[in-house]
């Protein structure tokens, strides 16, 4: 066999091994109840900000401490602790993806992805931003 | 109904030219195809002429569409949805063009514009390759034209037109009024993230890069159709051009991310970044194997494959960014316009025929039977190209996880540390590619005399070892977060990258005898090596300056959790207006903020003073209020540039004192367990303690501190704690440590210990609308980031040098075909 062919095979084999090991690092999307069963495991939580509960953030005291309550589509809710600044527009988001681990009574969040319909995309509720004929 | 005041003519003109674009590109495709199949010279000439007329008409169509849309946007014709949803009246003139690339339709038009430019250069230069190459380009134009059609074809929406009317696209009560335009005074505006000067220049360059990958593809495709492989010679400068522009476009995107996005860096392995990097990797692989074929006859088959796959990957990246499939993983993605099927077809319609022709003709593509010599340049260039290609495949596979999820219904999501998942692999690619870049130029094609190799190579090797060892020893490269193995790999990669730079500088003298004109490739390699050096040093030495030690909650000081979420650095620091705050080696003050009426940004003046008095400077990060229904703001970082590092700062939140703060502190005297009332509840003094351990971070070791422990009970039953205190140092120095309950707008001051004979502590309580102006910000230090940017510039210069040299070397290449 030619050396180039051997090199091709070896390098492709390495790439496949790399990709297979990557699938081991992949995490999963969970609901609050399924995440609770995997305490300590890094998961992605798809939830919403519970707007009835207070969002605790006081930059004067600690700009790296945010506590809020998240609620998922099944109606379960959980306290979330995030050691970073409060993302702007959090109240506006219609969906949040929380990356982190369940720890005891709360979800220890490492990263928050906000899904605001209007932030990077056109607003599906575009009509709302039109002036209404009544008050013009 | 007759609507008043609409300018319908502009849209009709736009629609007409869109149709012209579609029909002319189809016509031109057919005519070029016909010309490419005809042997008869006279007939061929007729079809060629027809095809060129078709291409001229489609160019007219594209340009006219462009101007029409520009007219609509610049004249604020909000009856058109594109203008209404992507612009507003307050937009500065320089950003009017940026509206084009905020929407899918406009960016497709930009793409087709570059196809036109490239097409005319090819008509001018490509001689007898014109029919074959232009068949592919005209067909691509036809495909892009369908993307901006916006018609329903048997109930399926084909494309999305930029000339649709707002009232036809959106249902709202105001459209029942004939004079609705008098109410529709302003548009939704351009996304604030795009209101940045990089966003004026980065998309056109990137799209030229994307569009130009079609040229090597078209040459390869035409070569397969004609079973003629002479195209490999004219394709080299095209591939070099494409690699230069695409590389520049990608790095301009990185510069934009660095300067205006607040993810704290220039590269985040974001799917959209990956999707444009990967075609660059495969294209560079193809360029190298193409050179090998030209000089040694080896590697023609991989050249075909790499050129085909590069363009297909560009189409695939179009699919990724425009189909909305990345919704959960990327910030870049365009809005989903329900064109997914069409976008998939766009990929397949090029991929399948090209792969079919490639596989069918594989055996007939000439290949050298004799094995490559291990001491030959062609062998190692091939290995390098293969590594580039496979590294691209690994990156794109990881990026495609959302696509797999969609196809197989799985729920996989990126790993805990997504960036590291890429870095830990690509650092080895950097080592291999760095070493090959350094050494391969010293090998000759066919075979290299070992004496020659030994004689030339030791000087650059020695220099590279010296430089990289001194970087390793004195550069404090101590990125140990990911273990010693990764740190070792970083040091190896730094050596390989330095070696690539030194080896190629030395080669200009040792190999080329100082002939700078012939040194295009070496210069490009030097630039590439510098890019690697810059990436490695700046990312492994990125440090957080705004490391926050105040207000550390007890939760955080858990040593067992060092690697968990709570062990992460607290990167935000709070600054009160006009109060100097301690931040590592700096004292930092938030001096003032101003709202600039022109660009609608709020600039914060942040004053940095080194504690040792060695330097002082001011930075002006800004925030811009979000539009399009967003309530927050987006932050634009600011950076202080040194030649060896950047100090990079951005605002993470700010609070403005909206009303003048008229309230003053009310003085109270309280014993322990006493209660006072405030407007929204009551406050209880629980106890006063000396040097409490849980508040240790608030006072120094040589200070004696007294803290009150108070509970605020709001009317709604929520409880908050407040701990105002005093710290005494020696006998005279007294420092107050106020505390706040933000949500109740309360500020507490420890005014004094009880007077003699009393047990009542003196307390100041202030209730105000807003407490004070404050901001939180993050500050990073990026060392050696300038090496990265300089490397990009040098690499592009190298590409341009080699393009000029090759074009000049081709006799008569600059003369137009008569």
The band of B764, judged by pLDDT with boundaries at 50, 70 and 90, is confident
Question: Who wins on pLDDT, B174 or A91?
Answer: B174
Q: Is the pLDDT reported for residue A129 higher than 70? A: no
Q: Are B172 and A127 in contact (CB under 8 A)?
A: yes
pLDDT score of B568 more than 60 = no
Mean pLDDT to the nearest integer, B510-532: 90
Portion 39-58 of A in contact with B at CB < 8 A: 42, 44, 54, 56-58
pLDDT exceeds cutoff 60 at B818: no
Are B626 and A89 in contact (CB < 8 Å)? yes
Note the pLDDT of residue B63.
96
Domain segments of chain B: what residues?
A: 1-195, 202-414, 420-541+784-810, 557-656+776-781, 666-771
For residue B763, pLDDT beyond 70: yes
pLDDT tens track for B372-430: 888 889 999 999 999 999 999 999 999 998 888 888 888 788 888 888 888 888 999 99
Query: Distance between CA atoms of B269 and B266, rounded to whole angstroms?
Result: 10
* Distance from C-alpha of B84 to C-alpha of B165, rounded to nearest angstrom: 9
Looking at beta carbons, which residues of chain A come within 8 Å of B555? 81
Contacts of B238 (CB under 8 A, 6+ apart): B212, B215, B216, B219
Q: Rounded CA gap, B248 and B251, in Å?
A: 5
Q: Per residue in B687-741, pLDDT tens?
A: 888 888 887 777 777 788 888 899 988 877 778 888 888 888 777 777 778 887 7
Q: What is the DSSP string of B343-372?
A: HHHHHHHHHHHHHHHHHHHGGGS----SPP
Q: Which of B371, B398, B634 minimises the CB distance to A2? A: B371
pLDDT tens, residue by residue, A39-69: 888 888 888 888 888 888 877 777 788 899 9
Look over chain B and give the mean of its residue pLDDT values, rounded to a whole number.
Answer: 85
Residues of A in contact with B303 (CB under 8 A): none
Which pLDDT score is estimated for A125? Answer: 46
* In chain A, residues 21-40 whose CB comes closer than 8 Å to chain B: 22-23, 25-29
pTM for the full predicted model: 0.83
Q: How many CB atoms lie within 10 A of CB B352?
A: 11
Mind giving me the DSSP string for B503-550? HHHHHHHHTTTT-GGG-HHHHHHHHHHHHHHHHHHHHHT-EES----T
CA atoms within 13 A on the CB side of B611: 8
Assess A105–B contact: CB distance below 8 Å, yes or no: no
Using pLDDT thresholds of 50, 70 and 90, give the confidence band for residue A116: low
* B339 alpha carbon, distance to own chain's centre: 24
Residue B231: helix, strand or coil by DSSP? coil
Contact B17, B61 (CB under 8 A): yes
Q: Which helix (H) or strand (E) holds B393?
A: helix B377-399
Least confident of B65-69, B265-269, B565-569, B624-628: B565-569
Domains and CATH numbers, chain A: 25-120 (2.40.50.140)
pLDDT of residue B661: 55
pLDDT of residue B285: 97
Q: Is the pLDDT of residue B632 over 90?
A: no
A128: pLDDT strictly greater than 70: no
**In this complex, do B570 and A110 lie within 8 Å of one another by their Cβ atoms?**
no
Beta carbons of B643 and B670 less than 8 angstroms apart: no
Average pLDDT of the segment spanning A17-36: 85
Q: Using the Cα atoms of residue B754, residue B755, residue B759 and residue B762 in order, give the sign of their dihedral.
A: negative
Confidence of residue B769 (pLDDT cuts 50, 70, 90): low
List CB contacts of B815: < 8 A, sequence separation 6 or more.
none
B170 to A7: CB separation less than 8 angstroms, yes or no: no
- Select the residue from A130, A132, A135 to test the B interface by mutation, using most B Cβ atoms within 10 A: A130
Total beta-carbon pairs less than 8 A apart between chain A and chain B: 200
pLDDT at position B53, please? 96
Q: Are B173 and B116 in contact (CB under 8 A)?
A: no
B629 contact residues in A (CB cutoff 8 A): 92, 117-118, 123, 125, 128-129
Which pLDDT belongs to residue B326? 76
Task: Measure CB to CB from residue A100 to each of B386, B565, B570 and give the nearest one.
Answer: B565
Instruction: Enter the tokens of residue B76.
Output: 């604020």
CA B359/CA B155 separation, integer angstroms = 36
Mean per-residue pLDDT, B478-504:
89
What's the confidence (pLDDT) of residue B551? 42
pLDDT score of B204 more than 60:
yes
- Mean pLDDT value across residues B302-330: 87
- B556 pLDDT band, cuts 50/70/90, is very low
Which tens digit of pLDDT belongs to each residue from B270-280? 888 899 999 99
| Residue whose pair of structure tokens reads 């992460």 in the numeric block | B568
Tens-place pLDDT, residues B570-620: 778 888 777 777 787 888 888 887 877 667 788 888 999 888 888 889 998
Reduced to 3 states (helix: H, G, I; strand: E, B; else coil), residue B603 is: strand
- The whole-number average pLDDT for the span B223-252 is 94
Token pair listed for B395: 């990156």
Mean pLDDT calculated for residue range B296-325 = 91
In the predicted model, what is the mean pLDDT of residues B78-89? 88
Interface test with B, best of A13, A38, A61, A110 (most B CBs within 10 A): A61
Interface confidence, given as ipTM, is 0.81
Q: What is the dihedral of CA B688, B691, B697, B703, to 10 degrees?
A: 120
B328 vs B646, residue with greater confidence: B646
State what percent of residues in chain B have pLDDT above 90: 38
């Amino acid at each position: 066999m030619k050396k180039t062919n051997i090199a091709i095979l070896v390098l492709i084999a390495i790439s496949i091994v790399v990709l297979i090991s990557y699938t081991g690092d992949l995490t999963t999307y969970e609901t609050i109840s399924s995440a609770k069963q995997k305490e300590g495991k890094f998961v992605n939580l798809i939830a919403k900000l519970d707007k009835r509960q207070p969002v605790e953030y006081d930059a004067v005291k600690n700009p790296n401490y945010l506590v809020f309550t998240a609620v998922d589509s099944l109606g379960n809710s959980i306290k979330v602790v995030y050691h970073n600044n409060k993302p702007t527009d959090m109240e506006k988001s219609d969906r949040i993806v929380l990356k982190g681990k369940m720890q005891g009574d709360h979800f220890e969040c490492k990263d928050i992805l906000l899904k605001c319909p209007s932030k990077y995309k056109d607003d599906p509720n575009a009509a709302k931003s039109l002036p209404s004929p009544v008050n013009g | 109904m007759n609507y008043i005041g609409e300018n319908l003519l502009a849209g009709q003109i736009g629609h007409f030219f869109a149709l012209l674009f579609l029909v002319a590109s189809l016509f031109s495709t057919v005519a070029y195809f016909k010309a490419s199949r005809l042997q008869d010279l006279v007939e061929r000439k007729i079809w060629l002429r027809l095809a060129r007329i078709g291409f001229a008409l489609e160019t007219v169509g594209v340009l006219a569409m462009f101007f029409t849309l520009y007219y609509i946007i610049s004249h604020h014709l909000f009856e058109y949805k594109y203008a209404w949803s992507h612009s507003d009246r307050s937009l500065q003139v320089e950003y009017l063009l940026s509206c084009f690339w905020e929407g899918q339709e406009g960016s497709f038009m930009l793409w087709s514009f570059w196809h036109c430019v490239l097409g005319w250069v090819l008509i001018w230069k490509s001689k007898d390759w014109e029919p074959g190459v232009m068949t592919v380009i005209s067909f691509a134009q036809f495909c892009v034209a369908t993307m901006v059609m916006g018609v329903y074809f048997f109930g399926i929406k084909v494309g999305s037109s930029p000339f649709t009317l707002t009232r036809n696209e959106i249902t709202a009560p105001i459209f029942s009024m004939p004079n609705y335009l008098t109410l529709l005074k302003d548009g939704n505006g351009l996304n604030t993230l795009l209101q940045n000067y990089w966003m004026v220049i980065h998309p056109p360059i990137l799209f030229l890069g994307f569009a130009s990958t079609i040229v090597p593809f078209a040459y390869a495709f035409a070569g397969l159709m004609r079973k003629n492989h002479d195209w490999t010679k004219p394709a080299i400068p095209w591939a070099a051009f494409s690699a230069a522009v695409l590389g520049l476009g990608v790095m301009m995107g990185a510069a934009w991310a660095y300067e205006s996005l607040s993810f704290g860096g220039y590269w985040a392995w974001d799917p959209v970044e990956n999707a444009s990097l990967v075609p660059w990797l495969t294209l560079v692989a193809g360029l190298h194997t193409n050179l090998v074929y030209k000089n040694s006859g080896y590697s023609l088959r991989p050249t075909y494959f790499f050129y085909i796959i590069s363009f297909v990957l560009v189409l695939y990246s179009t699919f990724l960014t425009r189909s909305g499939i990345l919704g959960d993983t990327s910030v870049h993605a365009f809005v989903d316009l329900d064109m997914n099927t069409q976008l998939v077809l766009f990929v397949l319609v090029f991929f399948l025929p090209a792969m079919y022709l490639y596989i069918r003709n594989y055996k007939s593509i000439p290949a050298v039977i004799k094995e490559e010599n291990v001491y030959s340049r062609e062998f190692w260039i091939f290995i390098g190209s293969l590594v580039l290609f496979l590294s691209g495949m690994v990156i794109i596979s990881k990026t495609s996880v959302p696509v797999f999820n969609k196809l197989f219904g799985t729920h996989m999501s990126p790993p805990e540390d997504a960036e590291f998942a890429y870095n830990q692999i690509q650092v080895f690619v950097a080592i291999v590619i760095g070493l090959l870049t350094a050494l391969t130029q010293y090998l000759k094609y066919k075979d290299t005399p070992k004496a020659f190799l030994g004689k030339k190579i030791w000087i650059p090797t020695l220099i590279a070892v010296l430089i990289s060892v001194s970087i390793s020893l004195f550069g404090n490269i101590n990125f140990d977060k990911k273990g010693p193995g990764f740190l070792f790999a970083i040091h190896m990669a730094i050596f390989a990258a330095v070696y690539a730079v030194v080896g190629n500088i030395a080669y200009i003298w040792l190999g080329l005898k100082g002939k700078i004109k012939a040194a295009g490739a070496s210069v490009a390699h030097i630039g590439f090596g510098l890019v690697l050096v810059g990436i490695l040093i700046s990312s492994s030495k990125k440090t957080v300056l705004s490391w926050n030690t105040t207000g550390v909650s007890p939760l955080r000081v858990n040593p067992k959790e060092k690697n968990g979420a709570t062990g992460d650095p607290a990167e935000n620091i709070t600054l009160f207006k006009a109060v100097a705050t301690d931040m590592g080696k700096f004292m930092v003050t938030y001096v003032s903020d101003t709202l600039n009426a022109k660009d609608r940004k709020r600039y914060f003046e942040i004053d940095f003073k080194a504690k040792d008095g060695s330097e002082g400077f001011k930075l002006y990060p800004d925030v811009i209020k979000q539009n399009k229904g967003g309530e927050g703001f987006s932050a634009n970082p600011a950076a202080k540039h040194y030649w060896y590092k950047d100090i990079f700062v951005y605002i993470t939140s700010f609070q403005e004192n909206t009303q003048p703060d008229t309230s003053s502190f009310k003085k109270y005297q309280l014993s322990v367990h006493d209660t006072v009332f405030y407007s929204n509840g009551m406050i209880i003094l629980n106890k006063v303690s000396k040097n409490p351990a849980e508040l240790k971070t608030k006072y120094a070791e040589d200070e004696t501190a007294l803290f009150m422990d108070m509970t605020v009970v709001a009317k709604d039953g929520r409880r908050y704690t407040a701990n105002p205190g005093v710290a005494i140092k020696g006998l005279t120095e007294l420092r107050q440590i106020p505390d706040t309950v933000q949500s109740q707008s309360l500020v507490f001051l420890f005014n004094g210990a009880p007077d003699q004979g009393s047990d009542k502590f003196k307390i100041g309580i202030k209730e105000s609308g807003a407490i004070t102006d404050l901001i939180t910000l993050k500050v990073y230090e990026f060392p050696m980031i300038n090496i990265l940017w300089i490397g990009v510039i040098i690499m592009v210069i190298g590409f341009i040098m080699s393009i000029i040299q090759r074009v000049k070397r081709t006799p008569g290449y600059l003369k137009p075909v008569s």
